[in-house]
Amino acid sequence: MINESSATAERMYEEAVVELLGVLAYGELTAFERMAADAALAPGIQVQASLAGLAALQYDHFVVLRDRLTQMGADPATAMTPFRPAIDAFHAQTRPHDWLEGLMKAYVGDGITADFYREIAQHLDPRTKDLVIAVCDDLEAADFIVETVREAIAEDPRVAGRLALWGRRLVGEMIAQAQLVAAEHDVLSMLVIGGVHRPGVDLAELGQMMSRLEANHARRMAALSLAS
């Protein structure tokens, strides 16, 4: 009985990892598409090319995740499909009106997403953990965003209020879609809150995790000279 339920737990864990890599892969694929499209909004070729470069990195991450899914015997398209509605809705709700909003979305949106996945990664097997951390590790490449947004605010301080609001909007939409994903995907949620056979984080830890996410978000907004 114990072996059987341990095998079940193992299967559920594998299933949850496939879901996690699926949502991550679709997230990277769409981040790639939207960031590349947003690059076209930039008034100058330097920023346009830099944002395009950041977008191209997301595609590389997508390939790593897709290949790992295949290696695990999962079909990448099948693993990604359940997450299309939530992620597509997020992008539909957060279409930048100009290039500064596009830059903010790349920096703030992807920053908080990466933080979130890195938190989850702490509860995973070493191999999956390393993979998740690797694909979340490109914010260093986004230094040009901080500089560009700060310059834009220095040139026209009225921009700051609008971008601060936009930052709050991005976080709000992200939380809304994350809750939707969590509600619809029990197996995936199990990775965070734990299942019968696996300890997850308790409520106190969950609260601490949220505080860390919030602190990191505030730090990024402050780096842009924006209120969070």
List interacting residues with its own copies (CB under 8 A): 26, 29-30, 32-34, 36-37, 39-40, 44-46, 48-49, 52-53, 55-56, 59-60, 62-63, 66, 76-77, 80-81, 84, 91
Residue with Cβ nearer its own copies (9 or 64)? 64
DSSP state of 196: S
DSSP state of 28: H
Residue with Cβ nearer its own copies (44 or 157)? 44
CB of 175 to its own copies, least distance (A): 23
CB of 53 to its own copies, least distance (A): 7
Nearest of 37, 52, 51 to residue 149 by alpha carbon:
51
Residue with Cβ nearer its own copies (36 or 193)? 36
CB of 104 to its own copies, least distance (A): 18
Q: DSSP readout, 143-186?
A: HHHHHHHHHHHHH-THHHHHHHHHHHHHHHHHHHHHHHHHHH-H
CB of 195 to its own copies, least distance (A): 28
Alpha-helix residue ranges (DSSP H) falling in 40-141: 45-71, 76-80, 84-93, 99-104, 110-121, 126-135
Residue with Cβ nearer its own copies (138 or 205)? 138
* Phi (first) and psi of residue 202, to 5 degrees: -90, 180
